Structure 1
Amino acid sequence: MAKTFLQVRTDERDKEQASVILEELGTNLSSVVNMLLKQIIMTKSIPFEVKMPQAYTEQEKAEEVKVSMEMERLTLTEEDLELLNKYRKAADKDKFREEILAEYAEA
């Protein structure tokens, strides 16, 4: 069976990280790509689940912002989280931002 060359564009860091893991597993990227192609042919499908990520709830979004801020050693109060939710719902975000900045400038 004749072999052909397959070229794939990917993030360099992803390729390197995957290659290290595959080497530890006793295989390599080329072999895994060939396994993937064989599975696609055999199953006539993508051999793993492909789906849209689950949507965050409003609470999860707020918690993620809070955790991210805490990682930067910035704390958010409940008032701050409420303000973020109001901003998210604002029809004119630029106007809302200007009003908030003006309030902080006055304080």
Structure 2
Amino acid sequence: MVDLTTYPMGTYIRPTKDGNDWEPTPFLSIMHTFWWFFTTATTVGYGDYVPTTTAGKLVAVFTFYLGIVLVAIKLTIVQGSFRRHYPEWQKSHSI
């Protein structure tokens, strides 16, 4: 069992990676959480913050796939605009 006197009141304590001990979460603020979300959603995944619980890992997988879909949608929109406007630009800038 975890010794609650070790951690200040309000600290979220999670299981360690190996599951044998407890540690405070690295998500110390909303900004830390945004950093994790954007590095996971853009598939960069630096590994500085990692989920250890099953629920956290499921959220990470969902975030990963959501990021792939969001990036694909943006790239499709940019590519469509480029395809529509590039021939006109090329005609106007031909030598």
The verdict on a shared fold, with TM-score over 0.5 as the criterion, is no
Structure in which a larger fraction of residues adopt helix? 1
Structure in which a larger fraction of residues adopt strand? 2
TM-score (normalised: structure 2): 0.23
Higher-Rg member (1/2):
1
**Higher RCO, 1 vs 2 (CA within 8 Å, ≥6 residues apart):** 2
TM-score (normalised: structure 1): 0.21
